[in-house]
A and B are shown apart, each in its own frame.
Chain A
Amino acid sequence: MQAKLEADFTLDLRGESCPYPVIYTLETLEGLNKGELLQVITDCPGSFRNVPEEAIAHGYKFAQDPVKNGQEYIFHIYA
């Protein structure tokens, strides 16, 4: 487990199924100011792959490696 990061915002997507996690994540990142840190908590297995891949494809950077927390994943992404 890496050092705890202080996120500016948290997007809690637990329970939502695809494609909503990836849509919500990209839209939220778009709305934030550049450099702000977004924490995303998601538990839809499809989103474990499409959220990080699409965040990167859309030009955002990860603050640290994705964290697997039981049946959910936590991502830290810079807007």
Chain B
Amino acid sequence: MKSSIQSIFQRYWNPYLVLLMAGILSALYFGLTSTVWAVTGEFTRLGGDILLWFGVDISDWQYFDMVHLQGATWNRPDGWIVWGMFVGALIMVLLSNSFKIRLPQQKRRYVQGLIGGIIAGFGARLALGCNLAAFFTGVPQFSFHSWIFIVATGIGTFFGAKLTKTRWWKGKPSLTRGNAKPTQLKNRMIQPYVGGVIAALYIGLIIYFFASGQKLLGLGALFGLAFGILIERGQICFTSAFRDLFLVGRSVMAKAIILGMSVSSILMIIVISIYDVTPITQIAALSTFVGGALFGLGIVMASGCETGMMYRLMEGQLLFLPVFLGNIIGATFLAYAWDHLGVYNVLVKNGAKINLLETLGPIGAISITLLMLGGLYALTVYGEKRYHQKLAIKRGMKVHAS
């Protein structure tokens, strides 16, 4: 018993398994509620809430109308997805005794985090979704905008990775001669108890939602919790999926995400045909491409996307406070720029909602989606191989015949 508890709370879970579960759960969540697992839409609404709180008149901002800014975040299922994710991640961090205030040695990270967060928040909302609604849960909705978004994010990430490698951006680490002392440990362990109390309270809240007939809030809170647990335990990082391929030839996360999306897509076809629900389609336009590229650049600058920053913040990585703030600022600024600065007219108006399910039918849509994901998988494997080949050549040139 003890060993099974240890393996659940002491070790991180296999990212393949975690994204497989996330793919299944997001298909189920869609079947139950007709909404997808997403977070940045709610970030925009939070920005709207804050503006209203300061007395700003946002009644003529079209974007807030489009994302249905109504009520408080506590009365929105999407709001509970966000708060549930924070709580789920926090519970896992505490149960595994891994909370620690972590402050970056490089002070420049805070500025990078804020700026990257703003760019990522702006880009995500311009494209109408982040790595969830325009990626992980967008592809299984057969919304073509997510295809454009993936390509654009890859390009943005590439430039972000280039930036990350420059000397002035990354800074010099602290390298000292000899051994250094590790942190002295405290014997008292209180985190798991705090985690247990929070878990009990939160489960009570979910039961209250269902008992009082607020089924959608209950489902949001429940699935948010599950998604939070999964991303923390799997250390799921969409930012690293592309970035680490460019930086160090690492491909685990990219492969796991592709696998999760494939399973989710297949399930979604079944869910859509059984429940007869309409998939959620977003506009595919120039804005999708520009937004995706900005998003890709921003998440690498900030070291985390809108999803990854949630569990990192709960782990005590304070760098992600300015990132969270930046995400909300960027999303809110986009909401302003949408009609006030002509973003809609220039980048969005000429777009169209394209859904592969409608244009190609179920068999065609799932075939082409799986084909695209297969291609993405092959590209990932190729990228990894190429990185290691180059490395071997670079090393070989350093070995001289003497």
A-to-B contact residues, CB < 8 Å: 4, 6-20, 22-24, 26, 28, 39, 41, 43-46, 48-50, 53-54, 57-59, 67, 69-72, 74
Contact B185 A8 (CB under 8 A): no
Residues of A within 8 A of B104 (CB): 15-17
* CB contact under 8 A between A9 and B164, given known A17-B319, A19-B247, A71-B98: no
* CB contact under 8 A between A44 and B317, given known A20-B170, A50-B250: yes
* CB contact under 8 A between A69 and B183, given known A18-B240, A20-B170: yes
* CB contact under 8 A between A57 and B388, given known A44-B317, A46-B240, A72-B183: yes
* CB contact under 8 A between A9 and B175, given known A16-B104, A23-B248: yes
B243 in the interface (beta carbon within 8 A): yes
| B179 interface neighbour in A13, A39, A71, Cβ under 8 Å | A39
Residues of B within 8 A of A67 (CB): 182
Residues of A within 8 A of B247 (CB): 19, 22-23
CA distance A45 to B102 in the complex (A): 11
Residues of A within 8 A of B178 (CB): 6-10
Least Cβ–Cβ distance between B305 and chain A, in angstroms: 12
Can you show 8 pairs from A to B with CB atoms below 8 A apart? Answer: A8-B177, A10-B177, A11-B173, A15-B105, A17-B104, A22-B250, A48-B12, A71-B98
Residues of B within 8 A of A39 (CB): 179-180
CA distance A41 to B250 in the complex (A): 21
Contact A44 B102 (CB under 8 A): yes
Residues of B within 8 A of A19 (CB): 164, 240, 243-244, 247-248, 303
Residues of A within 8 A of B237 (CB): 18, 46
B145 in the interface (beta carbon within 8 A): no
B-to-A contact residues, CB < 8 Å: 12, 97-100, 102-106, 109, 164-165, 170, 173-180, 182-183, 185-186, 235, 237, 240, 243-244, 247-250, 252, 303-304, 312, 315, 317, 319-320, 388, 391, 395
Contact A41 B12 (CB under 8 A): no
Residues of B within 8 A of A45 (CB): 12, 98, 235, 315
| A50 interface neighbour in B98, B105, B244, Cβ under 8 Å | B244
Contact B179 A22 (CB under 8 A): no
Residues of B within 8 A of A4 (CB): 179
Contact A17 B175 (CB under 8 A): no
Least Cβ–Cβ distance between B268 and chain A, in angstroms: 29
CA distance A22 to B185 in the complex (A): 24
Contact A23 B164 (CB under 8 A): yes
Contact B244 A14 (CB under 8 A): no
| A17 interface neighbour in B109, B165, B185, B249, Cβ under 8 Å | B109
Residues of B within 8 A of A71 (CB): 97-100, 183
Contact A12 B180 (CB under 8 A): yes
Residue of A nearest to B98 (CB): A71
CA distance A57 to B320 in the complex (A): 29
Contact B179 A10 (CB under 8 A): yes
Contact B173 A9 (CB under 8 A): no
Residues of B within 8 A of A72 (CB): 100, 182-183
Residue of A nearest to B394 (CB): A30
* CB contact under 8 A between A69 and B105, given known A22-B248, A49-B12: no
| A14 interface neighbour in B99, B102, B243, B391, Cβ under 8 Å | B102
Least Cβ–Cβ distance between B350 and chain A, in angstroms: 37
CA distance A50 to B99 in the complex (A): 19
Least Cβ–Cβ distance between A33 and chain B, in angstroms: 12
* CB contact under 8 A between A58 and B391, given known A16-B105, A69-B185: yes
Residue of A nearest to B174 (CB): A12
Contact A28 B173 (CB under 8 A): yes
Residues of A within 8 A of B175 (CB): 9-12, 28
Interface-centre pick from B244, B319, B388, B395 (highest chain A CB count, 10 A): B244
CA distance A70 to B248 in the complex (A): 27
Residues of A within 8 A of B243 (CB): 19
Contact B109 A7 (CB under 8 A): no
Contact B180 A17 (CB under 8 A): no
